[in-house]
Structure 1
Amino acid sequence: MAAEIETIISSWEQEYGHTHAQAAHLLCDRHPEDDVAFTFIAEDLSTSELTYGQLADESRRLAAGLQARGVGEGDRVPVLMTKRRELIISLMALWRLGAVHVPLFTAFASGAIELRVNESAARLAITEASQAQKFSSLQEQLELIVIEEDYADLTTGHGSHTEAVAVGGEGPIVQLYTSGTTGKPKGVVVPLRALGCFVSYQHFGIDLRAEDVFWNAADPGWAYGLYFGVLAPLATGRRSIMFNAAFSPESTVEVIQRLGVTNFAGAPTVYRALRKSGVVQGLRLRRACSAGEPLTPDVVEWAQEALGVEVRDHYGQTELAMAVCNHAHPDLREEIRTGSMGKPLPGYAVDIIDGQIAIDAANSPLMWFTGYQGAPEKTAERFTADGRWYLTGDAGYTDEGGFFYFTARDDDLILASGYRIGPFDVESVLITHPEVADVAVVGKADPEGIRGEVVHAYVVPAAGQGSQKLADELKEMVRSEYSRHAAPRQISFVTELPKTPSGKVQRYILRQQH
């Protein structure tokens, strides 16, 4: 089996890493014209489809129009749109020209957009009318294409761009920026050959099959949604779903039922909200997976009955895509171990170096990240001096079976009375209380100056209000179900937790609060 997997990985290396590789060919033109690339779902749950043939034709015409506006190979082009048809066509048009897509998330305020536009040295951006105002401060330096106003002109009268640019495997296709929870966002350039890594995850991690109805609920303005809701399905000719509406448990359940979704991917916050809502009844998925933050054990237990399948937790970063998985593919599938994120994805060699999860770049054929754009100092912090190991900055460990466990980001570890406490372990206990809707744990300086730090839990009560009785119950839960040394000495009840737009808790903000 190992030899067969190595052969598959080698074939993806060659396919997506070839020096003459064309993004438009790999992602669109080689697929049957009548096959559906995307099903778009509007807020009223009406649907429309985009075939690969339609995507090829419309993206060629849009590429010709963009080329007439001066867009060419290597140009960084920010795109800010909701999950609509023109988003996918715009991305394909950029890739035909050899241009580089800079993803923007619709929840971004103008400051986040300005940073990405300036950092990428963009001269032109594409957006829709509902988002155009966010570019107002950039109007003197940036040409703005608004789909409702400019799309018809761009796709008529300019012909069709039939010769796609061959950027090769090392050529950039995307430039994202890390979420910046602990500092200024850093540019991550994604080369075309990264498709090999994305396809490996889609194949082994989530076991996506031709007959599946696949829905990745993450937003394509972020890595997980872009890598695995757009790029990986396009690379393999699979159909993907785009739901153009805000998340709610009710609408999520209805989309799954109406479209007959069999393979679902979402962040832990999605699963937690579904569990707490009580609206999930009778769903039967073939596969379900989660990524973004560790999945608490209560969700795994709930899913077996509510979804008919376990939710398999996966670990990755913007710089890596997915690196460690509880693989769903039958060739690698194993029983889930509580709290584990699984084993290395084929194509990656993973280990623990100085207490943190690390990628053996020299022995990882699908490793594609080589450093941050224009930030050599930040890059040096991520790699060992000899360049062999990429250091994730995430603390973790392995068990005797080779399963990996995430405990915390290095700066999230709590050092109390000589103990190293991972906030995830404590949160996994607290979230099981029926009166807790959400929770985050951080370390705070011990006011008595004895223990170094103490465990401080920020709890969102399900009923909207906490009490001393609930606080006492939560402390006792941790003492009895995990460990006395990790029990929170301080509990604060809050209405919500500070999170990034992609749903990750910003613990550094909580640490700064008094």
Structure 2
Amino acid sequence: MRAVDDKRPSPSIPDRLNLASHVLWAAGAPDDKVALVLLRATGAERWSYGRLREAVMRTAGGLLAAGLAPGARVLMRIGNTPDFPVTYLGAIAAGLVAVPTAAALGAEEITKVARVLSPDAIVSDGTVPMPDHDAPVLSPAAFSRAEPLERPAETGANDPAYIVFTSGTSGTPSGVVHAHRAILARGLMTDGWYGLTPSDRVLHAGAFSWTFTLGTGLMDPWAAGATALVLAPGTGPEMIPLLAQRHEATMIAGAPGVFRRLLKSGMPALPRLRHGLVAGEKLPETVRTAWRDATGTELHEAFGQSEISTFISGSPARPAPEGTLGYTQGGRCVAILSEDGTPAERGEDGAIAIHGSDPGLMLGTLDGPLAERLTGEWFTTGDRGLMREDGAIEYHGRTDDILTAGGFRVSPIEVEAAMQRHPGIEEAAAVDCHVTPETTVIAVHYTGPAALPEADLTAHAEAHLARYKQPRLFVHAQSLPRNANGKLLRRSLPPANETAP
């Protein structure tokens, strides 16, 4: 049986659609309902839907009053405050193209982004590094005095709405262009991943500027008429358990590393919590099990990327079988492709791909249209996996992270999962190590309270992995390299044969 899971039809896309209008009004949430709660260790700042809508429309009016024409690109340089989503939605409501960027980017990094983007304006709150660029700079504070736009712009569903930047494998910023229709595709996650209802209160552990937070933590709850709970600046993730309890969170969302930290800090009783939502990197089964034991709730994982957001996931209605990401979301068509670009057989390793007609797929990048990135009718993600007979999809890692020790292709995810079952290992990262120009072995960098005897680790690997998958080098580390969003950076690890004793 071919490794294709076609859950179409996709949602019908109207000719005219404005993403901001859909987010703020589609669910019909009343003006006095709480839309956003900015959480602090002491106290909280609450925004009603009415206040949020007014702020967005004033921002839209202010941007247009500054002389920006439809389709103009607005680079956002704003810290982790409500100004971030308000500016994002305000630009889109005005028919402009919002470009959210991480506050953590330094002056050199954001200058590279600006050179690729050529923004028509920069909105800055003065708290984060600015690019060396001659675009006019606007302040979100000034928008509060602007005349509000009467209604969102009449944009086309396929018009550009926002651009997100990824560094890519070359280190050169790549701008991914998304259409207004992407918000309707995100609705497929409501049942396929979240199980989201208007009564939910979703607490996201990430910063506003992370696309995971911006989508799962803000846009999707608002499009469903739910309440978003987000950490205020200066509020550390160690406060999440207490704040989740105090503010009656029904869902907690974050990267796997967030849940690992929460488990270390100890979880209080959370009677309102329904489940957790995980994305950003593969969730270790050890963390899933520990969370279930500590809270009595499940962690539902999703897989996606900047070009498409998530399209494979487990959900409350259909939990993922152990060792898998879950299933193709309704309305999507997913395949595992062989080396020749055609669908593989179920049970065979291959490239994870989504059909090029998916309504959530990007329009393209600033470098070129989507058509240039397609393999026939498929968009390949750069990740590998296999589709089981029941349609559940295993994740084997990024194509450029796949291990090749001894001439075999080995998933680093499988090696890491096996080693993390050792009680003395907290985290693990498996990489290729070239011990000689002709010989490559698997090395594992791991964290834990103390370095473990090599014989102990070797015996553990022999008990859980086939011989060709077993690591030959083990390196104890104080921590593993991760990006600002907690994603493991395997290629940043030092060569194991230089660090191992």
The alignment's TM-score, normalised by the length of structure 1, stands at 0.86
Q: Hey, what does 1:421 align to over in structure 2?
A: 410
Q: Hey, what does 2:227 align to over in structure 1?
A: 239
Q: How many pairs are equivalent?
A: 478
Whether 2:332 is the aligned partner of 1:337: answer no
Whether 2:45 is the aligned partner of 1:48: answer yes
Q: Hey, what does 1:359 align to over in structure 2?
A: 354
2:143 aligned partner, one-letter code: L
Distance 1:258 1:76 in 2: 40
Whether 2:424 is the aligned partner of 1:435: answer yes
Which among 90, 93, 106 is matched to residue 93 of structure 1?
A: 90
Distance 2:67 2:123 in 1: 13
Q: Hey, what does 1:369 align to over in structure 2?
A: 362
Which among 355, 374, 379 is matched to residue 383 of structure 1?
A: 374
Report Cα offsets for 1:149-169 as digits up to 9, x if no partner.
xx1x4332x422214211121
> Quick one: higher RCO (CA 8 Å, sep 6+), 1 or 2?
2
Contact 1:207/1:287 (8 A) holds in 2? no
Q: Hey, what does 2:346 align to over in structure 1?
A: none
Contact 1:460/1:495 (8 A) holds in 2? yes
Q: Hey, what does 2:441 align to over in structure 1?
A: 454
Q: Give the alignment of 1:170-209 within 5 angstroms.
A: 170-181=158-169, 183-209=171-197
Contact 1:348/1:367 (8 A) holds in 2? no
Report Cα offsets for 1:224-244 as digits up to 9, x if no partner.
112222222222222111212
In structure 2, do the counterparts of structure 1 residues 208 and 118 end up closer, same or farther at CA, with 3 Å as the change threshold? Answer: same
Shift of 1:345: 0.7
2:60 aligned partner, one-letter code: A
Q: Give the alignment of 1:16-415 within 5 angstroms.
A: 17-29=13-25, 31=28, 32-42=30-40, 44-131=41-128, 134-135=129-130, 138=132, 141-147=134-140, 151=141, 153-156=142-145, 158-181=146-169, 183-245=171-233, 248=236, 250-275=238-263, 277-284=264-271, 285-328=273-316, 330=317, 333-334=318-319, 336-354=320-338, 355-362=350-357, 364=358, 366-375=359-368, 380=372, 382-384=373-375, 386=376, 388-415=377-404
Which among 497, 504, 508 is matched to residue 480 of structure 2?
A: 497
CA RMSD, 1 decimal: 2.4
Report Cα offsets for 1:468-513 as digits up to 9, x if no partner.
x2x4322322221223322221122233322222222222222767
1:348 aligned partner, one-letter code: R
Between 439-448 and 160-169, report the one with greater CA deviation: 439-448
Report Cα offsets for 1:355-384 as digits up to 9, x if no partner.
11111224x4x34324222246x963x421
Q: Hey, what does 2:344 align to over in structure 1?
A: none
In structure 2, do the counterparts of structure 1 residues 492 and 168 end up closer, same or farther at CA, with 3 Å as the change threshold? Answer: same
Contact 2:80/2:209 (8 A) holds in 1? no
Contact 1:83/1:242 (8 A) holds in 2? no
In structure 2, do the counterparts of structure 1 residues 146 and 458 end up closer, same or farther at CA, with 3 Å as the change threshold? Answer: farther
Q: Hey, what does 2:467 align to over in structure 1?
A: 484
Return the structure number with greater helix share.
Answer: 1
2:39 aligned partner, one-letter code: I
Distance 1:130 1:446 in 2: 47
Distance 1:108 1:220 in 2: 14
Q: Secondary structure at the match of 1:231?
A: helix
In structure 2, do the counterparts of structure 1 residues 505 and 213 end up closer, same or farther at CA, with 3 Å as the change threshold? Answer: same
Which among 464, 468, 472 is matched to residue 455 of structure 2?
A: 472
1:466 aligned partner, one-letter code: A
Report Cα offsets for 1:276-302 as digits up to 9, x if no partner.
x14124334212121111111101111
Contact 1:440/1:507 (8 A) holds in 2? yes
Distance 1:247 1:483 in 2: 45
In structure 2, do the counterparts of structure 1 residues 243 and 267 end up closer, same or farther at CA, with 3 Å as the change threshold? Answer: same
Q: Secondary structure at the match of 1:168?
A: coil
Structure 1 residues without counterparts, runs of 5 or longer: none
1:360 aligned partner, one-letter code: H
In structure 2, do the counterparts of structure 1 residues 33 and 320 end up closer, same or farther at CA, with 3 Å as the change threshold? Answer: same
Distance 2:201 2:94 in 1: 31
In structure 2, do the counterparts of structure 1 residues 68 and 360 end up closer, same or farther at CA, with 3 Å as the change threshold? Answer: closer
Shift of 1:6: 7.8
Q: Secondary structure at the match of 1:226?
A: helix
Distance 2:55 2:85 in 1: 10
The alignment's TM-score, normalised by the length of structure 2, stands at 0.89
Q: Secondary structure at the match of 1:340?
A: coil
Report Cα offsets for 1:439-473 as digits up to 9, x if no partner.
21111224273xx4210112233x3x535x2x432
Structure 2 residues without counterparts, runs of 5 or longer: 1-5, 339-349
2:228 aligned partner, one-letter code: S
State the 4+ residue runs in structure 1 displaced beyond 6 angstroms: none
In structure 2, do the counterparts of structure 1 residues 437 and 393 end up closer, same or farther at CA, with 3 Å as the change threshold? Answer: same
Distance 2:262 2:371 in 1: 38
Q: Secondary structure at the match of 2:262?
A: helix
Contact 1:202/1:228 (8 A) holds in 2? no
Distance 1:435 1:246 in 2: 32
Q: Secondary structure at the match of 1:162?
A: coil
